[in-house]
Chains A and B, each alone.
Chain A
Amino acid sequence: MTLTQAQSPPRPGASGRLVGKPIDRVDGGAKTSGAARYAAEYPYPGLAYAALVHSTVARGRITGIETAGAAAVPGVLAVITHENAPAMKPAPPMSVLNLSSLATGTRVNYLNTDEVHWNGQPVAVVVAETQDAALHAATLVRVTYEEFAATVGFTAEEPNAKPQKSDMLQSGSASKGDAEAALAAAPVSVDLRFTTPQHNHNAIEPHATTAVWDGDRLTVHEGTQNVAWVRDHLAARFGIPAGSIRVISPYVGGAFGGKTMVWAGTILTVLAARVTGRPVRMMLTREGVYRTVGGRTPSAQRVALGAGADGRLTSLIHTSVTQVGRVGGGPEQVTSQSRHLYDAGAILVRQSLVELDTLSNTIMRAPGESIGTFALEAAVDELAYKLDLDPIEFRMRNEPERNPIDGKRFAHRMLREAYALGAERFGWSARTPEPGSMRDGRWLVGMGVASAYHPSWQLPANVTVRLSADGTVLVRCGFHEMGMGGATAQAQIAADALGVPFEAVRVEYGDSVLPTGPGAGGSGQTASVAASLLTACEKLKRSMLALARRSSGSPLRGRRLNGLRARDGGLWTEPGPGETYAAILARAGRPHLEVAVGSDTRVGAMVGQARFMAKFLRDRRRWMKAACGAQFCEVRVDPDTGEVRVSRWVGAFDVGTVINAKTAAAQLRGGIVMGIGMALSEETLVDPRNGRIMNPGLGEYHVPVHADIPPIDVCYLGDPDPTMPLGLIGVGEVGITGVAAAIANAVHHATGRRVRDLPITLDKLL
Chain B
Amino acid sequence: MKDFAYVRAGDVTTALRAIAAEPGAAFIGGGTNLVDLMRQDIERPGTVIDITTLPLDEIEETADGGVRVGALVRNSHLAAHPLIRTRYPVLSQAILTGASAQLRNMATVGGNLLQRTRCLYFYDGAAACNKRRPGSGCDALEGFNRNHAILGASDACVATHPSDMCVALAALDATVEVESVRGTRRIPLVDFHRLPGDTPDVETAIAADELVTAVELPASPIAVNSRYRKVRDRASYAFALVSVAAALEVRDGTVAGVRLALGGVAAKPWRAREAERILLDAPATEESFRRAAAAELASATGLSQNAFKIELARRAIVATLSRLLTDGSAA
Indicate yes or no for A touching B, C-beta below 8 A. Answer: yes
Interface check B195, CB cutoff 8 A: no
Q: Are the C-beta atoms of A694 and B120 separated by less than 8 Å?
A: yes
Cβ contact of A694, chosen from B121, B231, B237, B308, cutoff 8 A: B121
Say yes or no: A707 contacts B236, CB within 8 Å: yes
Answer yes or no: B182 CB below 8 A from chain A CBs. no
Neighbouring A residues of B126 by C-beta, 8 Å: 56, 692
Residues of A730-766 contacting chain B, CB below 8 A: 761-763, 766
Known pairs A641-B319, A762-B231; A685 contacts B312 (CB<8 A): no
Q: Is A66 an interface residue (CB 8 A)?
A: no
**B315 and chain A: residue at smallest CB distance:** A640
A708 close to chain B: CB less than 8 A: yes
Contact, CB under 8 Å: A699 / B236: no
Q: Quick check: A704 and B121 within 8 Å, CB to CB?
A: no
Q: Is B124 at the interface (CB under 8 A from chain A)?
A: yes
Q: Does the CB pair B233–A702 fall under 8 Å?
A: yes
Contacts of B318 in A (CB 8 A): 640
Quick check: B233 and A762 within 8 Å, CB to CB? yes
In the complex, are the beta carbons of A762 and B236 less than 8 A apart?
Answer: no
Q: Quick check: is B64 within 8 A (CB to CB) of the other chain?
A: no
Q: Which residues of A contact B2 (CB under 8 A)?
A: 136, 139
The yes or no answer to A135 lying at the interface (CB within 8 A) is: yes
Which B residues lie within 8 Å of A643 (CB)? 231
**Most chain A beta-carbon contacts within 10 A, residue among B1, B120, B146, B238:** B120
Q: How many residues belonging to B are interface residues under a CB distance threshold of 8 Å?
A: 32
CA of A641 to CA of B118 in the docked complex: distance in angstroms?
22
- Minimal beta-carbon separation of B138 from chain A (angstroms): 13
Would you call A708 and B235 a contact (CB within 8 A)? yes
Contact present for A694 and B311 (CB under 8 Å): no
In the complex, A599 has a CB within 8 A of chain B? no
Complex interface residues of chain B between 7 and 64 (CB less than 8 A to chain A) = 39, 41
Task: Select from chain A the residue with minimum beta-carbon distance to B126.
Answer: A56
**Nearest B residue to A685, CB-CB:** B144
Any chain A CB within 8 A of the CB of B241?
A: yes
Asked whether B149 is an interface residue with its Cβ less than 8 Å from the other chain, the reply is no
Q: How far is the CB of B107 from chain A (nearest CB, A)?
A: 14
CB-CB under 8 A from B143, the residues of chain A are 687, 689, 694
Whether the Cβ atoms of A766 and B312 lie closer than 8 Å is yes
Q: Is A705 an interface residue (CB 8 A)?
A: yes
Flag if A694 contacts B236 (CB, 8 Å).
no
In the complex, the answer to whether B308 meets A766 with C-beta atoms within 8 Å is: yes
B252 within 8 Å of A (CB atoms): no
Contact residues in B for A685 (Cβ distance below 8 Å):
120, 144
A694 with B319: CB separation less than 8 A: no
Contact residues in B for A681 (Cβ distance below 8 Å): 233-234
With A and B bound together, what is the CA distance between A689 and B139 in angstroms? 10
Cβ-based interface call for A645 (8 A): yes
Determine chain A's interface SS by DSSP, over half rule. Answer: loop
Chain A residues with a Cβ closer than 8 Å to the other chain, count: 30
Q: Note all chain B residues with C-beta closer than 8 A to A132.
A: 1
Complex Cα spacing A706 to B142, Å: 34
Q: B120 and A700: CB pair below 8 A? A: yes
Chain A residues within an 8 Å CB radius of B127? 692, 694
| Interface: A695 (CB within 8 A) | yes
Residues of chain B lying within 8 A (CB to CB) of residue A699: 118
Smallest CB separation, A54 vs chain B (Å): 9
* Residues on B with beta carbons closer than 8 Å to the beta carbon of A704: 234
Pick from B121, B125, B139, B237 the residue with the most CB of A within 10 Å. B237
Residue in chain B with minimal CB distance to A706: B236
Q: Flag if B235 contacts A645 (CB, 8 Å).
A: yes
Binary flags per residue of B293-331, CB closer than 8 Å to A gives 1, else 0? 000000000000000100110011011000000000000
**Residues of B contacting A766 in the complex (Cβ-Cβ under 8 angstroms):** 308, 311-312, 315
Is A680 located at the chain interface by the 8 A CB criterion?
yes
Taken together as a complex, chains A and B put the C-alpha atoms of A687 and B124 apart, in Å, by 12
A418 → B minimal CB distance (Å): 29
Tell me if A763 and B41 are in contact (CB < 8 A).
no
B234-253 Cβ-contact flags toward A at 8 Å (1 or 0)? 11111001000000000000
Question: Are A687 and B144 in contact (CB-based, < 8 A)?
Answer: yes
Contact A761 B233 (CB under 8 A): yes
Is A705 within 8 A of B121, CB to CB? no
Q: Mark B136-156, 1 if CB is under 8 A from A, else 0.
A: 000100111010000000000
Residue of B39, B125, B241 near A762 (CB, 8 A) is: B241
Q: Is A702 within 8 A of B118, CB to CB?
A: no
Instruction: Find out whether the CB atom of A641 lies under 8 angstroms from the CB atom of B1.
Output: no
Q: Which residues of B contact A689 (CB under 8 A)?
A: 139, 142-143
Pick the most buried of A132, A695, A761, A763: most chain B CB atoms within 10 A of its CB: A763
If A700-B120, A763-B308 touch, whether A641 touches B234 (CB-CB below 8 Å) is no
Binary contact readout B212-247 vs A (1 if CB under 8 angstroms, 0 otherwise): 000000000000000000010111111001000000
- For window 179-222 of B, CB contacts with A under 8 Å fall at none
Please provide the chain A residues from 124 to 160 with a CB less than 8 Å away from any CB of chain B in the complex. 132, 135-136, 139
Contact code string A661-698 (vs B, CB < 8 Å = 1, else 0): 00000000000000000001100010101001011000
- With contacts A692-B124, A708-B235 taken as known, whether A640 is within 8 angstroms of B316 at the C-beta atoms is yes
B121, B125, B238, B316, most chain A CB atoms within 10 A? B238
Q: A641-B319, A692-B124, A707-B235 are in contact. Are A139 and B311 (CB under 8 A)?
A: no
What is the distance, in angstroms, from A62's C-beta to the closest C-beta of chain B? 15
Chain B residue contacts of A640, Cβ below 8 A: 315-316, 318-319
Partner of A702, one of B231, B238, B312: B238
Smallest CB gap from B1: residue in A: A136
**Which residues in B have their C-beta under 8 angstroms from that of A645?**
235
A233: min CB distance to chain B, Å: 30
Nearest chain B CB to A686 CB, angstrom units? 10
**Which of the residues B3, B236, B238, B312 comes within 8 Å of A641, measured between beta carbons?**
B312
Of residues 97 to 131 in B, which have CB atoms within 8 Å of A's CB atoms? 118, 120-121, 124-127
Contact partner of B235 (CB less than 8 A), chosen from A641, A687, A695, A705, is A705
Instruction: Please report the C-alpha to C-alpha distance between residue A763 and residue B145 in the assembled complex, in whole angstroms.
Output: 13
Minimal Cβ-Cβ distance residue in A for B235: A707
Question: Do the beta carbons of A705 and B236 come within 8 Å of each other?
Answer: yes
Known: A135-B1, A680-B234. 18 other contacts (CB 8 A): A640-B316, A640-B318, A640-B319, A641-B315, A643-B231, A645-B235, A689-B139, A692-B127, A694-B121, A700-B120, A702-B233, A705-B234, A707-B234, A707-B235, A708-B235, A762-B231, A763-B146, A766-B315
A-B contact pairs, 19 of them (CB 8 A): A135-B39, A640-B316, A640-B319, A641-B316, A641-B319, A642-B312, A645-B235, A680-B234, A687-B143, A692-B124, A694-B144, A702-B233, A702-B238, A705-B234, A707-B237, A762-B233, A762-B312, A763-B308, A766-B308
The 10 residue pairs across chains A and B that have the minimum distance between CB atoms = A707-B235, A763-B308, A56-B126, A707-B236, A640-B319, A694-B120, A139-B41, A640-B315, A708-B235, A641-B231
